[in-house]
Amino acid sequence: MHGVAPAPVLAETRLAANGRLIGLLTLNAEKTLNAVSLPMIELLAQHLSAWADDDRIAMVVLQGAGDKAFCAGGDLHNLYRTMRAQRDTPHSGAVDGNPYANDFFSREYRLDYQIHTYKKPVLCWGHGIVMGGGIGLMAGASHRVATERTRLSMPEVRIGLFPDVGGSWFLNRMPGRAGRFLALTGIAIEAADARYVGLANHVLPHGARHDVLDALLTQPWSDDSDANHALVGHVLRRTEARGREPGCPQTGPLRQHQQLIDALCGGDTVEQALAALAALVTDHPWLAKAAGAPKDASPGAMRLAWRMLETAKDMSLADVFRLEYGVALHCAAQGDFAEGIRALLIDKDMAPRWLPASSTDTFLDNPWTNTPHPLADIH
């Protein structure tokens, strides 16, 4: 007899000294490095909604099960299965022809927006691998912790997608051309650079997590949301002040090479940036890995990522989410997304057959010109 499958999200509350509660949400899919699945999205949204209306809950902690990853991205296997199935139907190529993809992306964007706009403090413990959809969860949290083993990346162009889940928003807000560089290369950054580019605002040793939780339980929580935000910040800064983790250098390679990165990605076109990266000669291992990464990525996805960053420069977060949702559905219906997943995760032959770069030129077209946008109500 098979046992009952574990819940994809573990939810619990801890009683603080003054009678208030701290909510803990743990992504509980350790075998898949806590990849974001549709059931996980639904449970996270349900608990966040309930706790937002519960006056006893002072704050929320978001963390991942195990020591390897907070969240390694989205559940790509189910997306691949439905994308392949759609291509064998009369709805092949139609953005509304894959109900699963429509539902998954819609709910994911709603959840990410919910975290971005949550009034109560949300502390995200971004330990280990944090990729793609994991950054989508982390980026909106009011308090974001990176640790000595944090590795953050947006590697979507390697699987035929663009940096989604708000990437067109937060990559545009990074120093210089760092956002362009990370979007085109998919290179991972560690804790110091995560704080430098704004994806983390605290760097702590992973071993301090329990001390932080214990300290949070002693705080004088109240009905004042601003005061509660300040209390979380106080606990995290006090923990940081006790000593820097030896495995966490204060300055990472992205910050060290910001001037070069700005020059590499400072041109007017994606073709210029890709040519500059290809021509780079360096003995720095991280830079060399980044510069070589685009040769294996989808040309259409890199072109699309560049266009998204340019288009979203002055957009609000809600408008960026609406734009990205439509573009993600275009990618699922007719782009390189399925082929990228096949080559990397299904057949694992690492030999994707990419479409021409021009294949994504219409992907910014709004699929809902005659009907309300499915995310019209977020604002």
Residue type, 356: P
- 1.10.8.60, 3.90.226.10, 3.40.50.10780, 3.40.50.300: which CATH number matches 9-360? 3.90.226.10
Phi, psi dihedral angles at 69 (to 5 degrees): -155, 140
Instruction: Tell me: pLDDT of 247 over 90.
Output: no
pLDDT for 87: 87
Averaged over 269-293, what is the pLDDT? 98
Residue 58's Cα: distance from chain center in Å? 25
Domain residue ranges in the chain: 9-360
8 A C-beta contact, residue 146 and residue 191: yes
**CA-closest candidate to residue 197, choices 213, 216, 181, 219:** 181
Averaged over 17-31, what is the pLDDT? 97
Instruction: Tell me: pLDDT of 240 over 60.
Output: yes
Residues 323 and 308: their CA atoms lie apart, in Å, by 9
pTM of this prediction?
Answer: 0.96
169-207 burial, b at 16+ Cβ within 10 Å, e below that, comes to bbbbebebbbbbbbbbbbbbbbbbbbbbbbbbbbbbbbe
Average pLDDT value for the chain: 96
8 A C-beta contact, residue 361 and residue 306: no
What is the pLDDT confidence band of residue 245, given thresholds at 50, 70 and 90?
low
Enter the tokens of residue 304: 């699309």
Residue type, 85: A
pLDDT for 4: 76
What pLDDT, in 10s, does the model give residues 89-116? Answer: 888 889 999 999 999 999 999 999 999 9
What pLDDT, in 10s, does the model give residues 298-320? Answer: 999 999 999 999 999 999 999 99
With a pLDDT cut of 70, the percent of the chain lying above it is: 97
Residues 148 and 101: their CA atoms lie apart, in Å, by 35
What pLDDT, in 10s, does the model give residues 166-187? Answer: 999 999 999 999 999 999 999 9
Residues 95 and 21: their CA atoms lie apart, in Å, by 43
Averaged over 323-348, what is the pLDDT? 97
CA quadruple 93, 95, 100, 105: dihedral sign:
positive
